[in-house]
Structure 1
């Protein structure tokens, strides 16, 4: 018992010391001054390694190259979707003779370095997955405290541009040491690598277990909550969690470091057209990463229409970097507001209800506390791509919001 207490005290001291060191040497990589945009394998393809029977959809260099081609040739890259990320299950189940992670040679015959070269030749950036633990969530080799340095150097030598660092098969104490240590190791490589941390999701997402000041110093983005699933229930649950905890979450986000409610599932199977608009609108209000997980080779025109909406992306990528918030909720109507640069705003009115007709909503700029410009504001319906007119503080604004739908407005002062 006494030895156990001593070990706990020593580990706490080491963790505190390392935290202080990291705060003096933070992840100063200059990346993602606006939320990152791109594509990731996980939600759509999970851990599909059956390339024999499903060659078009298994985790492989062929899948990554085909998505790179689509991102470059179908307008995604030019709109800002530039990170192309391999999630779990890319490696062999053992390290090489020098202790380094190695890609599965059957599924990645060219190796990750050559794959990175291909992705870079398309004007894109390659992301890869690791796990702070003995194993990844899919059972592949994880990164222990002893292998953080060699793994960071390996990723840098492959010219990877992003690391998603998960937290399966590790203790809270190991995570408290490992996540800051990986930040330091990535910095030491000299290569700018976007660092996506899953740490808070493994600690409940909230203080006192989660220190958002520390996260902002060591990570570029961080998963706060559970994995998203391909369903409306999952999207709504995430939205509810962010609304409930926004006093803690909103101040943590800003240029260079972002709350991450997880991937965009527009274009998959679980959301209707209206529900897809809800996810996109609320993620834009939250200044969340726009990381898709879908099949860009077969994506529908209506899903592409939503994801490539320039005004939606303009709102998401606003340089002020201020996360929006829920400002009112009456029954099933939720009103979200985000302040943008140059006196601009975005307002999303969401109907979480599933009953009957579209819900009417009446408001004004005065009621929304958007009053700085006495000459008025121009209003635009983002998804309908319509100019709605010039509104002053007391002018009535009438809306009807479809069940499990949203109206996203862009508001620009004429002053």
Structure 2
């Protein structure tokens, strides 16, 4: 927990600063020396990042946060193999106590939530071979608005009580701290925990405000580097970018903590959750499950239980991985592992698939005739002579373990497959308009040291679609470090409903190790758009291709409100109400398909009445900016926008923060029309 849930303006300021990091480019020399692991903590605790569960992300203080939840989670850890995979701690967050201390000064468990007391719950967890954690705050009260007792001024009493209950882990928050120096507050609790004689992992949760990575080692075993995470792609990405630059401060017994996992809570796709889990593991982050495991899908258990990925997080060398290359939303993360292998994550933060390449030399491996390459999500082994390549899906991560292996030739060659549509501009969606042929290319790449024979390419689209090859679909041999490409003409029939459809490249070939037939498939997608009508129409009546928004969702015919859909008010600019339009919030983008058949966008634009932000409105036609309003504030009259979009396949309506952060940047597009 943190004030990120309660002081919204501060949260938004930090989010804006974080989003700005998205454009940053990182690079290290190809063979830069990896940092030597720091010596472990003297007490021998948390020698690898803690793994377990914390209830906050899924329950907050709801009624079902109670001892039954804790017992159920402990049972699930055992029955679903999570204990075996390494998950150890079952931790309580805020709201476990009554609002007032007992007459003797002790904390009192809520008798409704925990009728048998905290020790009984801890005993149940311990009986399962697991460990138990609890929550408090380095202030007079905890972070919940109801204000449960904090530990400031009661450190030794509370530490003694926790030890008597069998607590193994303390998450120590930062609210209501009365301005007392953070180092002093957290050091005092460290000393109190140590005085109990019980080994208790100490988690410093002061949100990175006082740079705990600079002083936390020796005080705590882990420290939060960021504000609270939320179950959204934007939040996860922002926190990733703040934490990934702190690698020098992590090591056995002292870890950077980018907050708990959101995997399984429902706000992201499984692809995004795999990215979340992959990158937290690459960063040697604590893996604390934040989902109610009684309600999650089998896919969630598959992600959380991936032992190949967990082994990267729990590697005893204890080095936090870092990006060796980050540009244009494409990232190569590398984490050195005990024994000399490297973990490599190819991460694509963009909205469309992209090929990401690196090499054994670039990730810091010594020269070798061949390397063993294990795909940590596919759980397959291959060999490469040095190239590492994958077409990574939008918001996806491909993760490998690679190392020199004198028996590399025993594994099949590393192959990568792709199906890619010809894009109208860089970063465009893979649009296939009904009854309009588009060009696709399928590619099979061979990074191994042996040829692959009898290759045949197929492009598989929905059954009613037309698919026709326009080049060879077969080759007798695909040699090492070569790619086999086939071009295709694809069209969707008239009347195809708007939506996203699978389009797959499948390659049949002969495995050179076994001589047996084999296949490799890459599942891509095609976006069928709504085709604009002839004439002039309100864009708020047209289905967009995609949106991003800096605060909550884009609202149709209302201004942007807060985080929930539909919570905006009337569109008003300088006292005038507009029935039609879009309510956005910088940084935002709303994209529509125009198919080369439209000519003009018109609107009245400005900062919504009652807001204090500053915004720039832009219109983009494919990859070209064709309108820029300049900076507008609430003091400016509504600006008439007229943009020529003749011939564009797609248009984007963009609201920027005018360079001063996104606070209160509610950007209205009133009377927004498109002429085709």
- Indicate the TM-score class for this superposition, using the shorter chain for normalisation: 0.7 to 0.9
Partner residue in 1 for 2:185: 178
**Cα deviation, residue 257, structure 1:** 1.0
Structure 2's unaligned 5+ residue stretches are: 1-39, 407-676
Say if 2:101 and 2:149, in contact at 8 Å, map to a contact too: no
Say if 1:383 and 1:408, in contact at 8 Å, map to a contact too: yes
**Cα deviation, residue 213, structure 1:** 4.8
Q: Secondary structure at the match of 1:407?
A: strand
1:391 maps to 2:384: yes
Partner residue in 1 for 2:319: 322
Partner residue in 1 for 2:375: 381
The CA distance in 1 between the partners of 2:384 and 2:148, in whole Å, is 58
Structure 1's unaligned 5+ residue stretches are: 1-25, 51-57, 204-208
Partner residue in 1 for 2:259: 262
Structure whose alpha-carbon radius of gyration is higher: 2
Partner residue in 1 for 2:228: 227
TM-score, normalised relative to structure 1: 0.85
The CA distance in 2 between the partners of 1:404 and 1:330, in whole Å, is 15
- 1:177-326 matches, within 5 Å, as 177-199=184-206, 201=207, 203=209, 209-210=210-211, 212-243=213-244, 246=245, 249-326=246-323
Partner residue in 1 for 2:111: 105
* Aligned-CA RMSD value: 1.6
Q: Secondary structure at the match of 1:217?
A: coil
TM-score, normalised relative to structure 2: 0.53
Say if 2:229 and 2:235, in contact at 8 Å, map to a contact too: yes
Q: 1:329 and 1:202, CA in 2 relative to 1: closer, same or farther beyond 3 A? A: closer
Between structures 1 and 2, the one with greater strand share: 2
Higher relative contact order (CA 8 A, sep 6+): 1
Partner residue in 2 for 1:166: 173
1:135 maps to 2:135: no
Say if 2:41 and 2:47, in contact at 8 Å, map to a contact too: no
The CA distance in 2 between the partners of 1:116 and 1:363, in whole Å, is 47
The aligned length equals 366
Say if 1:339 and 1:346, in contact at 8 Å, map to a contact too: yes
Say if 1:29 and 1:187, in contact at 8 Å, map to a contact too: no
Say if 1:346 and 1:409, in contact at 8 Å, map to a contact too: yes
Say if 2:41 and 2:253, in contact at 8 Å, map to a contact too: no
The CA distance in 1 between the partners of 2:87 and 2:387, in whole Å, is 37
**Cα deviation, residue 251, structure 1:** 1.6
Say if 1:27 and 1:218, in contact at 8 Å, map to a contact too: no
1:75 maps to 2:81: yes
**Cα deviation, residue 143, structure 1:** 3.0
Larger CA deviation: 157-166 vs 372-381: 372-381
Say if 2:51 and 2:87, in contact at 8 Å, map to a contact too: yes
The CA distance in 2 between the partners of 1:62 and 1:144, in whole Å, is 26
- 1:17-56 matches, within 5 Å, as 28-48=42-62, 50=63
Partner residue in 1 for 2:157: 150
The CA distance in 2 between the partners of 1:233 and 1:147, in whole Å, is 38
Q: 1:332 and 1:210, CA in 2 relative to 1: closer, same or farther beyond 3 A? A: closer
The CA distance in 2 between the partners of 1:80 and 1:369, in whole Å, is 29
Partner residue in 2 for 1:91: 97
Q: 1:202 and 1:333, CA in 2 relative to 1: closer, same or farther beyond 3 A? A: closer
Between structures 1 and 2, the one with greater helix share: 1
- 1:327-366 matches, within 5 Å, as 327-355=324-352, 358-366=353-361
